[in-house]
Chains A and B, each alone.
Chain A
Amino acid sequence: MAVYLVGLLTLLETSQVAAVDGAESPLVAGFDRFIRQQVLPSEVGGRLLLSELSCTACHRSSRPELAPKRGPNLAGVSRRLHTEWLQRFLLNPQKVKPGTTMPGMLHSLAAGERPQVARALAAFLATLPVEQPLKLLSTGSAPLANAFWSKGDEQRGRRLFHRVGCVACHQVDADYQSEKVYLSDREKRLAELKFDPEERQELEAVDAPQPFRSVPLGRLSAKYGEQSLTYFLLDPLGVRPAGRMPNLQLEPAEAADIATFLLRGDSREVIWREPSVPDLVARGERWFRALNCAQCHPLAGIVPRPARVLEMLSVDAAESCLAEAQQGLPDFPLDSVQREALRVVLQRRQPGQDTAVKVDRSISITAKLLKLNCFACHERNGMGGVGPRRWPFFETFNHVELGDEGRIPPSLTGVGRKLLVPWMQDVLAGQARVRFHLMARMPRFGKANLGDLANQFATVDRGNLSRGKERPLGGPSEVSAGRTLLDQGCVQCHPLRGEWLPGVMGVDLADLQRRLRPEWFRAFLLDPAALKRGTRMPTFFPQGKSVNRQLLEGDVERQIASIWEYLKTIQDQPLPEKLVTGKALNFDLEPRKRPIVLRTFMERAGTHAIAVGFPARVHVAFDAHQVRVVEAWRGKFLNAHGTWFDRFVPPARPLGDPPVLFPQGVPLAVLENATAAWPSETGALAGYRFGGYRLDRQGVPTFLYRTPQLRVEERFVPLDGGRGLRRLLKMTPFDSKYAEREPVQVWLRLATGRALQSQGPDGYQIDGRWTVRLPGLTQAQRGQIRQVGEQWEWIVPLKVNATMMLQASYQW
């Protein structure tokens, strides 16, 4: 690169002038940046112009890399553009939009005739069928305001324009201040540099990205209406299939904002004045054919006239597009550098000379990156990258401090060595995004325009590796060791499966396997800076030794292989411990000083569950629908995430030890006699009515309910040391006067189980698991143990003639 700069210094004078004068020559960003500034040879520039100026649309070439860019799709143009603008543009493209690659087509007509032709062409174009416009639906997950294109906001549009990547190619608004990027003095000076290689050398900045002129926009408010510009921004490839204006994947509202900004508030509906007078339309069509417009703007039913094939062109021909504007030929106001570049390439292109030239893949990559102006954002092998003046407008989401890596699109040097081909294809198709912290978005260029770029990257970059430089992952791996290593390092900066530690913002590592080649992963972990200049990724293996000498005996290869292996199966693995803890911290309920009550859905306690967790680490769940206590457990209480924040409200699960289960059915029932079956109905069907609860000073709830005969208050408190629960029942007959004479006779079912074993006069052990006691019972009051099918149950008869209190204990 430097060689060119030094060697061609003599040419600088003229090219400088040309560049400045070039204001009215067609602007091709790659040419401006690399050929004009002597980074790449003229021949590359010539080839670039052949495609970008669509020379090869008329002068066909068999070489795919010279395929013409061509112009916009003209269907629907009358809906998109103001007719007045279109006619002016046809009359003098460079004047209306300085830098446009559209050649003048009417210059060879008599001056008086030109407006008539422009008018006729416009009238003809208005008759073209309008293609189905982009269909935008407003849905719940992607809401869209009514007539959203009319609701753009200029300030917001301005911010988006400068943030999402528009200014990688287009002119920065002089009044716009980037919010948070601080430039060093050197960077500031670089930004002020013009196109002077000498000055660049003085600053030792030969390698710094070269500046380039911005891709022109023209006065957009004269051209578009707010709706048409918004729709264009949403689907530029629909109008301009060549992908030079890529799709930035804007939300509809964002497109409206940017359109409002670009129109500077001068928004109106598209004004199309030309009436479709049949005669005028017919004349327009004749002119469209005569001027051979269809070469660049293909239209169904119009076959353009062929021109001399590229290889047959002579640089010195008297009649030529390269010469001054001539009758019947398009007028390209090329400057001297552009002319020279075309001359060079056409001279080398004499018949027979280059048919045997095999296109070098790396040249083909460069050509593609030049055409699509990928270099505007991406550096590759020392070329291109965000230019110094545009540098401040690349930002990190919320200005989280991640360094330049967190705001500048990544380098493409060695990208084929790093990424797997399918992933590159997804990225290029705009379907893959991992750097959510970058405000600039990777746009979509259209599949046809990208060709086989991903495979070309892979072939070239992997072919460049000298043998032995890359090693596969080695050594037997251990997934759990990988998890530990991630926990010690990676999660400090990287999210994993959408979980992250507080404040962390970076690339999620969960789908690493879909993206990276394992060989690159290994090399990167060993020496990140060697593969990624200026990265913040630290090495955990300084001098090739692991900082963790214990795990897998500090075997570096095995450690790296284990990290890879863990990430490979991460969907089925527990997250690293720090993330698990962090996650639980948010939603695991841990009663500390007071009980915690949670109404939720539970598997056993149902959809009316009320769970009570005690600091003594023993907990209970009540079903307010069946009106009964359902289960109790020890250990951890519940996780509230599903209840509090999950739209699909999954049931909350007891987190601790397996729960003990209270009898199904109502707790109190009237039985005909001691052998009558316990009623199967519960809740309202059994005449029960839940009445809510009261909290005492300590926050312990007392459940309130009614049976058909009694008002009941029921509460649970932990036994000492959390060994179980004490159950307190307070029962009052509705009709206390009557009950004084005729007590309410009900049975209380205390326990059911497959095996009940007597534990003294007042208790039983159930299924060998827990012991239920009703202290203070005499043998007579002890009630019945009876068998029902496979089950045993303990029922106690109660005679309630006034308020009655009972205390049972459940211990396990």
Chain B
Amino acid sequence: MVNAQPALDGRFARLVRCFLIIGLMLATTGFTVLRGNAAQEQDYYRLVTITTSQALTGSRAKKWKPPPRELVLEVSGLTVLDKQRLAVAIRKGEVWILGNVYEEPPSRVTYHRFASALHEPLGLLRRGDALLTAQRSEVTQMRDVDGDQVADEYLTVAKGWGVTGNYHEYAFGPKIDGAGNLWITLNLGLGLKPDQRNRTIRNPQLGVSQGKWRGWGLKITPAGKLVPVCAGMRSPSGIGANAAGDMFYTDQQGNWVGTNALHHMRQGAFFHHPEALASMQLPESPIRDIHQIPAGVSFPEAVRRLEQLKPPAVWFPYRKVGQSPTDIVLDDTGGKFGPFSGQLFIGEFTLSSISRVFLEKVDGEYQGACFPFREGFASAVLRMAFGSDGSMFAGLSNRGWSSLGTASYGLQRIVWTGRQPFEIQEMRALPDGFELLFTKPVSASIASDVARYKMQSYTYRYQPQYGSDEILRRQLPIQSATVDAERRRVRLRVEGLRELFVHELHITGVQSDEGEMLLHPRAYYTLNRIP
């Protein structure tokens, strides 16, 4: 294994030392400072910084430059190789293999370049002895055939979607589902220039044009066939499977997308953005016959008017739970990461944080609740992966945008301290309300007081404008709060539930036996169906 630090000749050594010192100072003065909730969250989930950018210019500076002679680890893909090694794709187009990543302090981490010449890879997956990534124009399988630890075979696994040359046409993935299919998602282009328009296909009836399969989720079957599955994505930068092997993706607020959301990818589903329907007339399209888009109405109304339109499993109310969701990872650590086994964690770019999602199936469709989980990362959380020890890697890069975390990039690890956080573990829908499961027994006298709970519901407007306010808001009276015998479950009877609306719950004063307050006393349930 080769260390990434290039041999430093005398001329640069002084400079590099200078940057290291500055970096150290930044580390003690800037990035590692925890804000707000992070201060409490770290009692339960602490962050280990493996590396962060040491650039002299702030990541928001107009002329941001990578620091000289530093590996610009703008993480765009992560996959765990074994008990010591982690493979990291970076946006510049390389794959690095990092060793000793679990050590604390992480001072002996080794860096070894495995692959290069990839065009903005935005995912990384290990399959057997090969690594897979989605580049802008294809899914590529990289392998080291001759045994020198460097990839020498870059085989095209799938190709054939439109690449007009527009910057926004990112390709994400792949991730693998329960049946062995590889999944990718394709961004829409934004603001195409005339020469880029020449590479689009057009649906004149809907008046939309985009590159082929842009705004779609596609799978690559084990036989190597590229199959379009679902459409209407805007900027689907995260893909992930749940414990059942079903695939989800996250989408970013913007035109036609009222707020960020988590969607279940399945055959023929249309999610929101109509420009993706430029590809509807292609013979392989599983979506047919959308002739009109019900623009400017509430989302529930749009779902009623357009049969193909499928609501998200979870809406992430803007800023309350993130502002730009990214990766999806399943907690399959069997408890090594705390009490959230089987749930999904969602990366968050702008607010440099991670959220948590609980899903259940009602009438065969997924819906559920989201919660804040951990803030205070050094930069935008773009990729996550669980390590072999049950800790989670967070790959950071705020390229092209900006984030609360002020480093431009980096790699951190989130380790459960072993202390049980007092949290709303699950929130389930009931015919007449919700059932909360807490991570610890609650004080029954307080938890049965309806005044401790406040609920409101609202939805979003389905419109061509950027984002949407929360609309049709209604406060919902809590009629009763019943604590079960083990004091971990509380049933809330709520009047006036509305299907397809977000139901936002605030809890005040509910305590655990030890007198702790909830670490995150708010929950947001997307009630597509009342059971």
Nearest CB of A to B514, in Å: 23
**A364 in the interface (beta carbon within 8 A):** no
Q: Count residues of chain B with CB under 8 A from any CB of chain A.
A: 61
**B163 in the interface (beta carbon within 8 A):** yes
* B15 contact from A142, A257, A502, Cβ within 8 A: A502
Instruction: With CB as the reference atom, state the residue of chain A lying closest to B163.
Output: A607
* B25 contact from A152, A153, A398, A599, Cβ within 8 A: A398
**A719 in the interface (beta carbon within 8 A):** no
- Spot the interface stretch: B27-35, B238-246, B477-485: B27-35
Interface of B is mostly: loop
Q: Which residues of A contact B15 (CB under 8 A)?
A: 502-503
Contact B36 A643 (CB under 8 A): no
State A151–B353 Cα separation when bound (angstroms). Answer: 14
State A156–B35 Cα separation when bound (angstroms). Answer: 9
Contact B350 A691 (CB under 8 A): no
Q: Which residues of B contact A643 (CB under 8 A)?
A: 93, 119
Contact string against A for B residues 297-338, beta-carbon threshold 8 Å, 1 for contact and 0 otherwise: 000000000000000000000011001100000000000000
Contact B22 A647 (CB under 8 A): no
Contact B165 A690 (CB under 8 A): no
* A152 contact from B36, B56, B118, B350, Cβ within 8 A: B36
Nearest CB of B to A464, in Å: 38
**A803 in the interface (beta carbon within 8 A):** no
Q: Which residues of B contact A179 (CB under 8 A)?
A: 29
Contact A398 B154 (CB under 8 A): no
Q: Which residues of A contact B319 (CB under 8 A)?
A: 138, 144-146
**A398-B56, A600-B119, A704-B155 are contacts. A644–B92 as well, Cβ < 8 Å?**
yes
* B165 contact from A400, A645, A649, A694, Cβ within 8 A: A649
Instruction: With CB as the reference atom, state the residue of chain B lying closest to A705.
Output: B156
**B138 in the interface (beta carbon within 8 A):** yes
**A253 in the interface (beta carbon within 8 A):** yes
**B404 in the interface (beta carbon within 8 A):** yes
Contact B36 A399 (CB under 8 A): no
Contact A143 B404 (CB under 8 A): yes
* B26 contact from A140, A398, A598, Cβ within 8 A: A398
Contact A692 B155 (CB under 8 A): yes
* B35 contact from A153, A159, A596, A649, Cβ within 8 A: A153
Contact B167 A649 (CB under 8 A): yes
**A584 in the interface (beta carbon within 8 A):** no
Contact A607 B164 (CB under 8 A): yes
Q: Which residues of B contact A156 (CB under 8 A)?
A: 33, 35
- Spot the interface stretch: B98-106, B261-269, B394-402: B394-402
* A599 contact from B36, B65, B93, B199, Cβ within 8 A: B93
Tell me which residues from 42 to 82 in chain B have a Cβ below 8 Å from any Cβ of chain A.
56, 60, 62-63, 65-66, 68
**A625 in the interface (beta carbon within 8 A):** yes
Tell me which residues from 356 to 413 in chain B have a Cβ below 8 Å from any Cβ of chain A.
375, 399-404
Contact B404 A607 (CB under 8 A): no
Contact string against A for B residues 82-119, beta-carbon threshold 8 Å, 1 for contact and 0 otherwise: 00000000011100000000000000000000001111
* A143 contact from B22, B117, B350, Cβ within 8 A: B350
Instruction: With CB as the reference atom, state the residue of chain A lying closest to B118.
Output: A599
* B153 contact from A399, A624, A694, Cβ within 8 A: A694
State A596–B159 Cα separation when bound (angstroms). Answer: 23
Q: Which residues of B contact A608 (CB under 8 A)?
A: 137-138, 159, 163
Contact B323 A692 (CB under 8 A): no
Q: Which residues of A contact B62 (CB under 8 A)?
A: 498
**B146 in the interface (beta carbon within 8 A):** yes
State A138–B167 Cα separation when bound (angstroms). Answer: 23
Tell me which residues from 683 to 724 in chain A have a Cβ below 8 Å from any Cβ of chain B.
684, 690-697, 704
Q: Which residues of B contact A649 (CB under 8 A)?
A: 120, 165, 167
State A598–B404 Cα separation when bound (angstroms). Answer: 33
Instruction: With CB as the reference atom, state the residue of chain A lying closest to B154.
Output: A692
Contact A140 B350 (CB under 8 A): yes
State A505–B55 Cα separation when bound (angstroms). Answer: 13
**B140 in the interface (beta carbon within 8 A):** yes
**B18 in the interface (beta carbon within 8 A):** yes
Tell me which residues from 395 to 416 in chain A have a Cβ below 8 Å from any Cβ of chain B.
398-400
State A138–B323 Cα separation when bound (angstroms). Answer: 9
Nearest CB of B to A214, in Å: 25
* B152 contact from A610, A625, A694, Cβ within 8 A: A694
Nearest CB of A to B444, in Å: 29
Contact string against B for A residues 9-26, beta-carbon threshold 8 Å, 1 for contact and 0 otherwise: 000000000000000000
Contact A599 B35 (CB under 8 A): no
Q: Which residues of B contact A144 (CB under 8 A)?
A: 319, 404
State A649–B93 Cα separation when bound (angstroms). Answer: 13
State A140–B254 Cα separation when bound (angstroms). Answer: 11
**A648 in the interface (beta carbon within 8 A):** yes
Q: Which residues of A contact B26 (CB under 8 A)?
A: 398
Tell me which residues from 108 to 150 in chain A have a Cβ below 8 Å from any Cβ of chain B.
138, 140-146, 150
Q: Which residues of A contact B402 (CB under 8 A)?
A: 140-143
Nearest CB of B to A267, in Å: 11
Contact A647 B156 (CB under 8 A): no
Contact string against B for A residues 483-498, beta-carbon threshold 8 Å, 1 for contact and 0 otherwise: 0000000000000001
**B136 in the interface (beta carbon within 8 A):** yes
* A624 contact from B35, B36, B137, Cβ within 8 A: B137
Q: Which residues of A contact B93 (CB under 8 A)?
A: 598-599, 643-644
Tell me which residues from 599 to 650 in chain A have a Cβ below 8 Å from any Cβ of chain B.
599-601, 607-608, 610, 624-625, 643-645, 647-649
**B351 in the interface (beta carbon within 8 A):** yes
State A153–B29 Cα separation when bound (angstroms). Answer: 12
Q: Which residues of B contact A690 (CB under 8 A)?
A: 138, 156, 159
Tell me which residues from 79 to 100 in chain A have a Cβ below 8 Å from any Cβ of chain B.
none
State A75–B249 Cα separation when bound (angstroms). Answer: 48
**B37 in the interface (beta carbon within 8 A):** yes
Residues of chain A having any CB pair with chain B under 8 Å: 138, 140-146, 150-153, 155-156, 159, 179, 253, 257, 398-400, 498-499, 502-503, 505, 586, 596-601, 607-608, 610, 624-625, 643-645, 647-649, 651, 684, 690-697, 704
Q: Besides the contacts A399-B22, A645-B399, A694-B153, what 7 more A-B pairs have beta carbons closer than 8 Å?
A: A144-B404, A153-B34, A155-B33, A586-B68, A607-B164, A684-B160, A704-B155
Q: What 4 pairs across the A-B complex have the smallest Cβ distances? A: A151-B36, A498-B63, A599-B119, A597-B117
Report 23 cross-chain contacts, Cβ distance below 8 Å, ordered by A residue: A138-B323, A140-B401, A143-B402, A146-B320, A151-B35, A153-B34, A253-B404, A498-B63, A499-B63, A503-B15, A596-B117, A597-B117, A598-B117, A599-B135, A607-B136, A607-B163, A624-B156, A644-B92, A648-B167, A649-B165, A692-B140, A694-B145, A695-B152
